[in-house]
A and B are shown apart, each in its own frame.
Chain A
Amino acid sequence: MKAEVLDEIKRKYGDRATDTPFERSLYSRDLAPVPALLVDPLFNTMPDLVVRPANVEEVAEILRTAWAGNIPVTPRAGASTVYFDSVPVKGGVVMDLNLLRGVVGLDEERMTVTVQAGTTWSELDDYLNRRGLTVKSYPSSAPVASIGGWFCMMGYGIGSLKYGSLLSQVRAAEVVLATGEVRVVTRDTDPPLSWFAASEGTLGIVTWLELEVRRLSPMKHFLIQFTNVPEMTRVLTELKDASVTPYNLHFADPACVRAMHDLGLTPGDVQDGCILEIDYEGTDRELAQAEDIIRTMAAGNKSINMLPNEVAEMEWKERFKALRLKRGGPAVLGGEVWLPADELAGYLADINKMSLRYGIDLISYGHVVTPEHATVMTMFYTDETKTLKYIFNLSLVKKIHDIGYRHHGCPYGVGLWNTPYIDRIFSRKRLAGLRERKKTLDPRGTMNPGKVYRSPLLMNPYIFGMGMDVMAGILRAAGRGGSG
């Protein structure tokens, strides 16, 4: 039955469907270089078929066919996460959504744009910029992240501090459910739009979204070097709560500054301390006020070094290139933590202690994305060609998340690899509610299975936690984590 169904899809979609091992192998990976030794015994990440639908009718037809054959379907567009969100764990069909591209309509009266889900954030913003408009917020991976993909993740990034989550900016979306049924969802429908935000492609496939846009406005950029983390976090708090809200607030800790300096990447050739980037957009009046706030804060503060404007502008231009740090690796491992902003100083202090304990450089940087929360990436260099050492190093990712948890944080995003932390990410009640949604919309569990709702047996929190702690203990006793 399964083979017949796959054949049917393949026949129907011709050169837009493939079952060659050569092609399929590339759809069994995302950004995370997880050793086959770990993945292969546990999951079937090789799709049986990859298909590229070009419109909602085709998406619906493929889903209907797969549903009838009880075949898992994994949606994929930019595939730019590290959690295997867009990698199958039970084979089946991978639906490559990159042909769903382009703007469907622009409504300048409502100040909304309707855009196909496979369009990248950079493509949409280029389209809007040519018309004097822009998006309200976007991910720090805008050149590859798709509109639908970011909506199905958490949707916090550059501009979120000022304009809120992506969900708050979406008016409507078209979603194809696991059964192939097409629905247009809003805040008032049943199910509502909010069910699909951060659902990580487990409830259906989003084909277009109607998003709020804004007029393009001038910007001002500031880059400040601090001698110490506590002073940086104090200023960060002061600025995020000031009368003019920054558009973007980005920070880098001393290890990050050192790593960037070693690679010749630090703005203004800064060698030490930590860095805070503050970007404002708005009217000329707002920008003048913002400049006053920054100058007043900086006046007489000896732990502050204001970097020249052109350096700040250059750093803004590089805002999508956080991965440039990887050049120091060549491999990196790390964890991204959703953290209360007022815990940032404590978190970074504990990360520093962990760094000393395990003898590795832990590099942290991140964004303040709401008045209450920051996303922090903490990472370290490793070597993926030394498989055993690399696997042991994975235990340090758990240690990073443990520190985040101690500071009331949790992993940012779930996918497959963060399922061992679901009891940290969701309250029991919330998780029960999410599982109920899944059961309602996808009772057979064919839509992106194995993600978000529960951990696989060998990755249940107890076994996973114990295993990781033992490996971390060995690394600590040996005093050799990271790439050394």
Chain B
Amino acid sequence: MSAEQGSRFTTLENEALICGRCGYCRSSCPVYRVIGWESASPRGKISMAKDIFAKGRKDGLSDEFVQRVAQCTLCGACSSICSTGIDTRTLWLELRKRIAQSGKGPKTYDDIRNTLLVNRNISTFSNDDRLEWAQDLDDPEVVEPRAGAEVGYFVGCVSSFFPQAAQISLAIAEIFGEAGVDFTTMGGEEWCCGFPLISSGFADDAREFTKHNVDKIKELGIHTLVASCASCYHVWKHESQAELAGYDLEVLHTTEYLARLVEEKGIELDELDEVVTYHDPCDLGRNSGVYDAPRKIITSIPGVRFVELAHNRSDSLCCGGGGNLQSVDPELAATIAQLRVEEIKESGATIVVSACQQCEQMLSTAIRSAGLPVRVMDISQLILEAMG
């Protein structure tokens, strides 16, 4: 099952029975590749889920099983290769939901939930400080919420509160400014997109967040929303449809919007003498089907030699940072990132570009510890550099 094919998901019980235990998922699963035990493979987890939920072995909901379910990046690679067409990503989310309902979920998930319910963002900062990053702009006022703007930029928690990732929101604001885009943000009324809650099994809590964000977008009269975070984009595109029903909102990832600007000559790009590769973020690529836009941008920069990584597009390897894995098992997440860094090394690239703050953070750390002379950049940062 791929993003293009659509989901055939029925119920956790039925899908667990449908699983043929063929094991195709094992070879594509980054977690299984690192851990190596059958219980870490998607087929192993589904097999146990079948015993517990479809066959009523309630005592099977052990700590070991809960840990294995949490050891998943939600990258969706198992879904793409599944021989019975199971939308495994939805299955994992449903499984985490059931675990959360049983009260046996990882403590870290509860911490994430508590932080979000209190702060409305994933950091420890007040949500009123959402636009603190903009102080580095020549005119910070430009990003203050404004009704009727052509484009609403959904900044996301990471780019709002974490200094390294804030370079992305700054880059986007500068590019938009240069290109004359009439844009605004939601300021302190932007709440977390809800993805950390959904991926921790608290989808019902996440509804409050998506509903709030949709209401605010409606209030501002925004009809084009651009998100620079792949997971925020995924939530807006796929998880907020009920709240958005009847409202005309075009949801775009920055790669899509920037590709449009490049194509329409809204921005001029100078020559860059670099070998550039692109890492497909799972929530943007495999789970949302956006592959061409970032490649179009990179290949439109004069002088750039673009090289693909060995696994790319729908076959891309995860960075290890998805699905809240970093919060429950940072060592595993880092080892998965190292697998990707091996491919980056083999590609001979001098710059690895991505379009997700989490991917960029994971890859930066792994590249640093591998001592590779490779720069990790967001697509917006690459464009800004090419704009001179």
Measured CB to CB, the residues of A under 8 A from B are: 16, 18, 20, 22-23, 26-27, 29-31, 33, 52, 78-80, 96, 98-99, 120, 122-123, 141, 143-144, 320-324, 326-327, 329-331, 384-385
CB <8 Å contact, A326 and B65: no
**Chain B residues with CB under 8 A of A123:** 27
Interface centre among B21, B44, B62, B64 (most CB of A within 10 A): B21
Task: Please report the C-alpha to C-alpha distance between residue A22 and residue B36 in the assembled complex, in whole angstroms.
Answer: 15
Query: Distance (Å) between the CB of A327 and the closest chain B CB?
Result: 6
**In the bound complex, how far is the Cα of B43 from the Cα of A29, in angstroms?**
11
Q: Give chain A nearest CB distance to B61 CB in angstroms.
A: 12
Q: Are A143 and B18 in contact (CB under 8 A)?
A: no
Note all chain B residues with C-beta closer than 8 A to A79: 23
Distance (whole angstroms) from the CB of A23 to the closest CB of chain B? 5
Contact check, A20 vs B47: say whether CB atoms are below 8 A apart: no
> Is B37's CB within 8 Å of the partner chain A?
yes
Give A345 Cβ to nearest chain B Cβ, in Å: 29
* 10 nearest A-B residue pairs (beta carbon): A330-B17, A144-B23, A323-B83, A26-B38, A143-B24, A330-B18, A323-B20, A22-B64, A321-B83, A26-B44
Near A by CB (< 8 A), chain B positions 4-21 give: 8, 14, 17-18, 20-21
B81 at the interface (CB under 8 A from A): yes
A122 to B39, CA, bound (A): 22
Chain A residues near B65: list those with CB within 8 A: 22
Chain B positions 274-316 with a Cβ under 8 Å from a chain A Cβ: none
A144 contacts B26, C-beta separation under 8 Å: yes
Give bound CA distance, A18 to B39, whole Å: 12
Known: A80-B23, A322-B83. A27 touches B38 (CB 8 A): yes
> CB distance B36 to A52 under 8 Å?
yes
Rounded to whole angstroms, the CA-CA distance of A22 and B55 in the bound complex is: 17
CB distance B14 to A330 under 8 Å?
Answer: yes
**Mostly helix, strand, loop or mixed at chain A's interface?**
loop
Whether the Cβ atoms of B39 and A143 lie closer than 8 Å is: no
The answer to whether A18 and B37 touch (CB under 8 A), given A144-B26, A324-B85, is yes
Q: Which residues of B contact A (CB under 8 A)?
A: 8, 14, 17-18, 20-24, 26-28, 36-39, 44, 47-48, 54-55, 62, 64-65, 81, 83-85
B297 to chain A, nearest CB (A): 27
The residue of chain B having its C-beta at the shortest distance from the C-beta of A143 within the complex is B24
Return chain B residues, CB-CB under 8 Å to A23: 37-39, 64
Instruction: State in angstroms the CA–CA spacing of A384 and B84 once bound together.
Output: 17
Report the minimal beta-carbon distance from A140 to chain B, rounded to whole angstroms: 10
- Considering residues B24, B28, B39, B44, which has the most beta carbons from chain A within 10 angstroms of its beta carbon? B24
Instruction: Say how far B329's CB is from chain A's closest CB, in angstroms.
Output: 15
Q: In the complex, what distance in Å separates the CA atom of A330 from the CA atom of B20?
A: 9
Is the CB–CB distance between A20 and B64 below 8 Å?
yes
Among B18, B26, B81, contact of A326 (Cβ-Cβ < 8 Å): B18
Asked if residues A31 and B21 are in contact (CB atoms below 8 Å), the reply is: yes
Chain B residues, Cβ within 8 Å of A326: 18, 20, 84
| Distance of A330 Cα from B62 Cα, bound (Å) | 26
CB distance from B377 to the nearest CB of A (A): 27
* Of B26, B28, B64, most A-chain CB atoms within 10 Å: B26
Cβ contact within 8 Å between A144 and B27: yes
- CB neighbours (8 Å) of A29 from chain B are 21, 47
Q: Would you call B17 and A122 a contact (CB within 8 A)? A: no
Known contacts A26-B48, A330-B18; is-contact A143 B55 (Cβ 8 Å): no
A15 to chain B, nearest CB (A): 9
Q: Which residues of B sit under 8 angstroms from A323, Cβ to Cβ?
A: 20, 22, 83-84
Roughly how many angstroms separate A354 CA and B64 CA in the complex, as a whole number?
46
- Least CB distance from A141 to B in Å reads 7
A31: which of B20, B28, B54 is its contact (CB, 8 Å)? B20
With contact pairs A323-B83, A327-B8 given, residues A144 and B38 touching in the complex (Cβ less than 8 Å):
no
20 new A-B contacts at CB < 8 Å, known A78-B23, A144-B27 = A20-B64, A22-B64, A22-B65, A23-B39, A26-B38, A26-B47, A52-B36, A80-B22, A96-B38, A143-B24, A143-B81, A143-B83, A144-B24, A144-B26, A323-B83, A324-B84, A326-B20, A330-B14, A331-B17, A384-B17
- Shortest beta-carbon distance from A133 to chain B in Å: 16
Residue of A nearest to B26 (CB): A144
Most interface-central of A123, A322, A329, A330 (chain B CB within 10 A) = A330
Chain B residues contacting A20 (CB-CB under 8 Å) are 64
Nearest A-chain residue to B45, judged by Cβ: A26
What's the Cα separation between A330 and B17 when bound, in Å? Answer: 6
Bound complex: CA A79 to CA B22 (Å): 8
Q: 8 A-B Cβ contacts within 8 A?
A: A18-B37, A23-B64, A80-B23, A96-B38, A99-B36, A324-B85, A384-B17, A385-B55
Chain B CB within 10 Å — which of A29, A52, A323 has the most? A323
Residue of B nearest to A32 (CB): B21
A120 in contact with B27 given A30-B21, A322-B83, A329-B17 (CB within 8 Å): yes
**Nearest CB of chain B from residue A352's CB, rounded to whole Å:** 25
Q: Nearest chain-B residue to A329 (Cβ)?
A: B18
- Considering the complex, give the chain B residue whose CB is closest to the CB of A130: B310
Residues of A within 8 A of B22 (CB): 31, 80, 141, 144, 323
Assembly CA distance A165 to B288 (angstroms)? 41
Q: In the assembly, what is the distance between CA of A459 and CA of B65, in Å?
A: 35
Nearest CB of B to A8, in Å: 21
Chain A CB count within 10 A is highest, among B20, B28, B55, for B20
Asked whether, in the complex, the Cβ of A327 is within 8 Å of the Cβ of B27, the reply is: no
* Alpha-carbon gap, A122 to B28, bound state (A): 11
Distance (whole angstroms) from the CB of A152 to the closest CB of chain B: 16
Residues in A neighbouring B44, C-beta threshold 8 A: 26
> Nearest chain A CB to B94's CB is how many angstroms away?
16
**Residues of chain B contacted by A30 (CB below 8 angstroms):** 21
CB closest chain-A residue, reference B35? A15
Cα-based distance from A26 to B64 in the complex (angstroms): 13
